[in-house]
Amino acid sequence: KLPLESIQVVLEELRKNGNLEWLDKNKTSFLIMWRRPEEWGKLIYQWVSKNGLTNSVFTLYELTSGEDTENEEFHGLDETMLLRALQALQQEHKAEIITLDDGRGVKFF
């Protein structure tokens, strides 16, 4: 058991490293991330590049639940974290999140 002050120090270090995000202004609820969105984005883009899939469009479902990604670390990734990863790739101009008839997708560049 740690004193509250020590817990706050640990949480602040996680936040500084990008592995924690506060979900409320009072800092009572937070999200701890195993990998930062940028790291997930890098893994996804490495898979896309390795398999010659640039200029391809995928649904979010295909990326996290499709047969092609079964052996990848991002397979089964929560949709919220997937979107954050894809937004990071979008900022790097490596992907664009798009709206499809049946949901969202992504095009990789």
Give residue 8's pLDDT. Answer: 93
What is residue 101's predicted lDDT score, i.e. its pLDDT? 83
Read off the pLDDT of residues 42-52 as tens digits, 9 standing for 90 and up. 999 999 999 99
- Where does the pLDDT of residue 64 fall: very low under 50, low under 70, confident under 90, or very high at 90 and above? very high
pLDDT tens-digit readout, 70-102: 999 999 999 999 999 999 999 999 999 999 887
- How much is the pLDDT for 103? 86
Short-list 105, 37, 19, CA closest to 77:
37
Whole-angstrom distance, CA of residue 63 vs CA of residue 22:
27
pLDDT in the model for residue 78: 93
* 46 Cβ neighbours under 8 A, 6+ residues apart: none
Residue 100 is predicted with a pLDDT of 82
Domain ranges in the chain?
Answer: 1-33, 36-106
Give me the CATH code for the 36-106 domain, please: 1.10.10.10
Q: Are strands 95-100 and 103-108 parallel, antiparallel or unpaired?
A: antiparallel
Contact criterion met (CB below 8 Å) for 96 and 90: yes
pLDDT in tens, 12-43: 999 999 999 999 999 999 999 999 999 999 99
Q: How far apart are CA 77 and CA 60, in angstroms?
A: 10
Q: Give pLDDT, residue 75.
A: 98
Q: What is the pLDDT of residue 91?
A: 98
